[in-house]
Each structure stands twice: as C-alpha cells, then as structure tokens.
Amino acid sequence: MAEAGAEAMEGKLRRVNSWLKKMFDNQPIPQYEVNPQTIDILCKLEEYSEARDRGVAFLIEDMELKAEEYEADANYLEGLLTEGLGLSLSSLSSEGTAYLNTLVNSAMTLETKDTSLASFFSAINDMSSKLYATDSENKEMELELTDIKKKLTAALVLEKQLEDDLKKTKEYLEVERDKAESRSQNLKFLADKSEDFRIRIKAAEEQLAATGLDQSLTHQSLLSMSEKLAEMQKEIVLLKKKLKSYLDLTPNPSLVQVKIEEVKQELNAVEAEFAKQIDVLTLEMPEPSKHKFT
C-alpha cells in the first residue's frame, strides 16, 4: 500500500513538473514545498488549465471552420456575380457597392443564413414578434409603473396628512399641558389658601375662647340657631295661613271661635319661643372687642 501511494505521488509530481515547465517555458520554476497537499492543489490547477486550453482550442477550431464556410459562401456569391451576372466588385458603381454593403449589413444584423428573400422575411417576422413581445412587456411595465406612481402619490399624501395630524396633536397636547399646569397651580394656590384660612379660623376661635366667648356663639352654633329660627318662621307663616282659613269659616261661630283661640295660643307660643331665642342671642352677644386677630 505504501509503495502504491508513493508511485501515485511520483506520477502526480512528474505531471505537475511537466505542466509547470510548459507554463513557465524557459523561465525557472519557482520553488514550492513538495507535500501531498501542495501536489494535489497543483494537480487540480493543471487539470483546470488543460481543460481551458482544450476549450480554447475547440473555439479556435470552430472559428476557423466558420471562417472557411464564410469564405466559401463569399466565393460562391462572387462566382454568381461574376459568372452569372457578369459583375464584379470592381465593376460595381458606388451606389451598387453601397446597396451591397447595406444588404450584407442587414443580413448580419438579422443574423440570416443567407441573403435570400425567404431568409430576410423569416428574420423580419422573428424580429417583429420579438418587437411585439417587447412592446407588450413595455406596456405592462408602464401600467405597473403608473399603478406604483398612484400608490406612491397616495402614500405621500397620507404621509403629509399624518404629519399635519401629528403636528396638530403636538400643539393640542402642548396647550392642554399648559392648561393642566395652570389648573394644577391654581389648585395648589387654593389648597394653600384653604389651609391658611383653616389655620387662621382655628387661631381666631382659640383667641375668642381665650377671651371667654360662649361656644354657643361660634359660627357653627349661630348657623344652627339661624336654621332653627328659619324653621320657626316657616311654622309661624303656616299657622297664620291656618288661622286665616279658620277666619274665613262662617258656620258654627262658637266652634270657630274655639279653633281660632287654639290657633292664636299656638301662634303666641311660637312667637314667644321665637322672641325668646332672639333675646338669648341678644343677651349672649358680647360687646365688640378691640382685640385684633392675627
């Protein structure tokens, strides 16, 4: 096995050296490290190079064959002109030469195999079909482009509208933020004032209590008594209406007189209570003090 591997390695090395000599011709071959990996890489390069050379050789051979065919066709056509029509390139006028060049150029452009009418018609039909197909593709692309332009325009309009809406929203939020900040400051001011008034009221109540003010004359007590007086006034009004209704009655004078006396007594009692409450307020109200509240 080792001997077979060594022989294969020797064969690859000889092939590589032969290829390198051919590549560098009379120039010295560069030094390289001889190992299996390097030899394998150089062998692959040699294979690629040989394949490329063969391809180039085939291409050159094909071009030479085509050149021979073109030359044969040219000789054939020249023979037709000279022998069949008695014409030669030197005997053609400048206009005839121009026509001939145009014919040749047209044949080369249309890639016809010869200059016959059938070949030209066939080539023209092929070109017309290709032109029609290309024109159809162009129209489809134009339609797609038009559709894309419409979508792009709509997208740009929408983007502009969104930008305007965003700008308006930012401005609205800015205004609302300013309003909210102003309301917050006002609420803080009112809260501070309320706390200040509460402290001042409490201090005033403490000062009044220190001067011997009856608790029944505080603001809350006075409000309560005022509510009671208002209720008593309403009762007096109702009793007066009730008394008036009895005064309007005509039958049974004695019974009416009794009812009137009862209502009068009830009215007098309410008025007496009302007067008593007024007197209490008057008696308990202290004289105005010159003490200043702080």
List pLDDT tens digits, range 103-112. Answer: 777 777 777 7
- Residue 84 DSSP label: I
Q: Give the separation between CA 53 and CA 64, rounded to whole angstroms.
A: 16
Q: Which of 11, 16, 48 is nearest to 32 (CA)?
A: 16
Q: How far is CA 167 from the centre of its chain?
A: 15
pLDDT in tens, 42-84: 888 888 888 888 888 888 988 888 788 777 877 776 776 666 5
Structure tokens at 260: 């009137």
Give yes or no for residue 22 having a pLDDT over 60: yes
Which three-class secondary structure state does DSSP give residue 248?
coil
Candidate from 36-50, 115-129, 192-206, 249-263 with smallest mean pLDDT:
249-263
- How far apart, in whole angstroms, are the C-alpha atoms of residue 158 and residue 83? 79
Q: What is the pTM of this model?
A: 0.31
Cβ–Cβ under 8 Å, residues 208 and 276: no
Task: Give the pLDDT score at 167.
Answer: 92
- The DSSP call for residue 249 is -
Residues 6+ apart with CB under 8 A from 249: 256, 259
pLDDT reading at 128 higher than 60: yes
DSSP letter (8 states) at residue 90: T
pLDDT above 60 (res 99) = yes
- Using the predicted structure, report yes or no on whether residue 287 has a pLDDT greater than 80: no
Q: pLDDT category, 4, cuts 50, 70, 90?
A: low
- Whether the per-residue pLDDT at 2 is higher than 80: the answer is no
C-beta atoms surrounding 43 within 10 Å: 16
Share of the chain above pLDDT 90, in %: 7
Domain ranges of the chain: 2-91, 113-213, 214-287
Predicted pLDDT of residue 165 = 92
Cβ contact 50:23 at 8 Å:
no
